Amino acid sequence: MSVASHPPTRELADERKWVGKSIRRLEDPKFLRGRGNYIDDLRVEGMVHAALVRSPHAHAKIVSVNVEEARRLPGVIAVITGAEALELADPLPDFGPAPDKHTWRLLAAEKVRYVGEAVAAVVATSRYVAEDATDLVEVEYEQLPAVVDPEEALKPGAPLIHEPLESNIAYERVFTFGDVDRDFAEADLVVADRLRWNRSGGQPLETVGAVASFDHGTGMMSIHTNSLSFTSYLFMLANTLKVADNRLDVVPHPAGGSFGSKLWAVKVGAIAGMLSKATGRPVKYVEDRIDNMSNCDHHGSDRIYDVELAVTKEGLMKSIRIKTIDDYGAYMQFGVGHHGNALAQVTGPYRIASVQYDLKAVVTNKCQQGAYRGFGSEVNNWMLERMVDLAARRLDMDPAEIRRKNFIAPDQFPYFIPTGNVYDSGDYEQVLDKALGLADYEHWRTEQERLRQEGRYLGIGMATCQERSVFSATEFWFWFDEPAAPVTSMPESVTVRVGPTGDITATLYSCAFWGNSPETMVAQLIGEEFDVEPHSVSVIYAGSRNGLPATGPGGSRLTVMLAGAVEGASARIKDKARLVAEHMLEASAEDLEWVDGGIQVKGSPGSRLSLAEIAIQTHLFKHQLPDEIESGLEASKVYDHPYTTMPSDDRKNLGVFYPIMGHACHIPIVEVDPETGHVQVIKYIAVHDCGTLVNPRSLSGHITGGTVQGIGTALFEQYIYDEEGNFVTQSYMDYLIPTAMEAPEFVIGHVETPSPWTVHGIKGGGEGGRMMAPAAIASAVEDALSPLGVRVSELPARPERIVALIEGRS
């Protein structure tokens, strides 16, 4: 297969004024004042409220739904059953394999497939009344056997989740990249393990919500929501709601956290939209916490791995065979893109020459899997690092040394991994050395020895992992031979407007905000372009109807893509400004230069126009300018994915789809109490290389926040279903999110290896510490308990699991 040549290497500025500074965020003042304008803060004239009737059963036929009593309750406006919803709305957009074989609807009509799936919706004058009425809806179910263990779901005779699928396998295929058999034959040692990653989720403190208004007079459907992304794909949501694509407007509101869970979270908006159409009233539907935990779009990965890693006696990793069963729950909205994510960096920072990847995606009676910070690649990181630690132990090598020995060297970039994806740049040893230095690694090894004499179990963990950034959507379809598609551009757009006084406004077109810093990023980038103070830039968010193509945050792409769009729009404004200046300064274009926020004649700073002087001229006095110059000073740029290539027809090479590669080394110091299984994270060292930093403190916040989420994944958080499929973690009493007492004291370090292919050399970093922390914490716990021969093969390593491991039970 031919590999398209990579983009030209960009030149980097010697100095920057704003990119690289930890300025205060533009977003913050409104949030500090409690005026965030979150979706639940929105009130619309005539607005009514919705609540859902949820299934108490994991798997059951819906025999009948009696809504008469609910409809009679004063204040109830409508009760819509699943059967009625079949008429009102078409199935939800589904990117999964064979969507017609696992049809996903707003409300279940014939049968329910997990506890929490909605079977009816109530609209009432208040949320209180709506919830009262849900209690009055009588649903008769005929229970069916449920299956929640993905391996049980594979067995013949297992209950079928979707009959048209004729099994519970939604997707299966074995991919081979490189000469796996040869590389295994040449290895001295094969380490093997079975690993289990249980399901957790983003659990932002704000749930998903929407206020929808349908106007029967105009056919316009407007949906205000805290989820907006993939704007070029919104025609699919329009189809679901049976409205014309040009009459759907999705208006973004700030999100109180997402962590993936508000990525294309269209179900809530679609339910509100359907109910608005049915009632003719604006309808607010905001998930309550139980809705969000049991019936959301986005539970995280739920995988079983059987892995073999082939190494030489010197510790060189040759090849890896990965067999994974992924429990997707009842629906497949996001397909198996999670594994595309994994394949983008499947071999980590190491020179592993070949890979076998055997995937079975299984459906069970659980809530569906979607996105959680890492989108499945964080699980691969954990799996790979668990295997590296195992190899180090077998070979009696220091965990740092086996990693160092296998790192791709700085002069080997751009580096194509066996799957065909490329890593743009990196310096992994520098990151490792910085982390070891900040950790005072030798000190802690000495301390570990000393404490062991006292019967205490100190552990030093290590993870050296990739953070792929800037995805191309081929990862959603290269799974299939047919239908294939061309490479997708996944654009992001910005409009920059210089007003008559020179003040700058930037318009963004994807998700408003979900805890990241799009306004600050854009303002710093515009500050860099025009030499203006970033806080003077005003940032607004457009709805989809008048919007340019946009994809939104996800896969750590947004800052890189916004930087490309800002650069492009700014260049267009500067080009026009130069034309104006040519005329006003009576100079030719080649004699003009952009200096300190204005245009001047080269070598004669006295002959100069500020941006404001040019702006007022273009806005008010166009007739003084040549005919070809129109009024105004505004430009947009739709920035497309910088580098993506087609997979080979035989899928032995998946092409380039995630080329901007970050890296990090995490070293946590933990103490484990062998009696109680309690793990205390004493100190946490994290060094990240996300290329050129825009706002170092903002990135550090992603590192600390993502790491504490990763600690939750590693030690506490799990969505638990019992054997009958009952969902037993329906509140924060049971689903344990780390508090400040479980969070460590951090030491953060940054290394900056610029990307050769992005503006300023920026790489994505939004998924932050969660890409590495589960691997690092598992490694630390195992290191602490190594005198007891404990191997950590399953997360979360809750106290009872740790005690069981120590006692030799698993």
Q: Is 406 in the site for other proteins (CB under 8 A)?
A: no
Q: Is 206 in the site for other proteins (CB under 8 A)?
A: yes
Q: How many CB atoms lie within 10 A of CB 737?
A: 14
Which window, 28-36, 165-173, 648-656, 754-762, contacts other proteins (CB under 8 A)? Answer: 28-36
Q: What is the closest distance, in whole angstroms, from the C-beta atom of residue 678 to other proteins in the complex?
A: 15
Contact with other proteins (CB under 8 A) among 82, 116, 150, 204: 204
Q: What is the closest distance, in whole angstroms, from the C-beta atom of residue 128 to other proteins in the complex?
A: 7
Query: At residue 305, what is the residue type?
Result: Y
Which window, 37-45, 144-152, 496-504, 545-553, contacts other proteins (CB under 8 A)? Answer: 37-45
Cα distances from 756 to residues 426, 643, 762, in angstroms, run 10, 12, 9
Contact with other proteins (CB under 8 A) among 698, 713, 729, 793: 698
3-state secondary structure 426-472: CCHHHHHHHHHHHHCHHHHHHHHHHHHHCCCEEEECCEEEEEEECCC
Q: Is 621 in the site for other proteins (CB under 8 A)?
A: no
Nearer to other proteins, 251 or 317 (CB): 251
The residue among 782, 743, 706 whose CA lies nearest residue 462 is: 782
Q: Is 35 in the site for other proteins (CB under 8 A)?
A: yes
Q: How many CB atoms lie within 10 A of CB 636?
A: 16
Assigned token pair, 510 = 């994807």
DSSP string across 563-620: HHHHHHHHHHHHHHHHHHHHHHHT--GGGEEEETTEEEETTEEEEEEEHHHHHHHHHH
Q: What is the closest distance, in whole angstroms, from the C-beta atom of residue 637 to other proteins in the complex?
A: 27
The residue among 379, 445, 468, 437 whose CA lies nearest residue 685 is: 437
Q: What is the closest distance, in whole angstroms, from the C-beta atom of residue 26 to other proteins in the complex?
A: 9
DSSP string across 18-40: STT--PPPTTHHHHHTT----GG
Q: Is 650 in the site for other proteins (CB under 8 A)?
A: no
C-alpha to C-alpha distance for 696 and 692, rounded to whole angstroms: 9
Q: How many CB atoms lie within 10 A of CB 284?
A: 25
Q: Is 697 in the site for other proteins (CB under 8 A)?
A: yes
Q: Is 11 in the site for other proteins (CB under 8 A)?
A: no
| Contacts of other proteins in 734-753 (CB under 8 A) | 737, 739-741, 743, 745-746
Q: Is 257 in the site for other proteins (CB under 8 A)?
A: yes
- Residues forming a β-bridge with 175: 357
The site map against other proteins for 117-146 (x = CB under 8 A) is: -----------x------------------
Q: What is the closest distance, in whole angstroms, from the C-beta atom of residue 25 to other proteins in the complex?
A: 6
Which window, 38-46, 70-78, 105-113, 117-125, contacts other proteins (CB under 8 A)? Answer: 38-46
Q: Is 453 in the site for other proteins (CB under 8 A)?
A: no
Q: Is 514 in the site for other proteins (CB under 8 A)?
A: yes
Number of residues written out for the chain:
810
Which window, 250-258, 297-305, 421-429, 620-628, contacts other proteins (CB under 8 A)? Answer: 250-258
Strand, coil or helix: what is 319?
A: strand
634 DSSP 8-state letter: E
Assigned token pair, 221 = 């459907």
Q: Is 33 in the site for other proteins (CB under 8 A)?
A: yes
Helix%, strand%, coil% for the chain, nearest 5: 30, 25, 45
Contact with other proteins (CB under 8 A) among 649, 732, 787, 810: 732
Contact with other proteins (CB under 8 A) among 7, 29, 145, 437: 29
Q: What is the closest distance, in whole angstroms, from the C-beta atom of residue 481 to other proteins in the complex?
A: 41
Residue pair 579/494 in contact (Cβ under 8 Å)? The answer is no
Contact with other proteins (CB under 8 A) among 32, 46, 603, 650: 32
Q: For binding to other proteins (CB under 8 A), which residues are involved?
A: 22, 24-25, 27-38, 40-41, 128, 202-206, 254-259, 288-289, 513-517, 535, 697-698, 700-701, 703-709, 731-733, 737, 739-741, 743, 745-746, 769
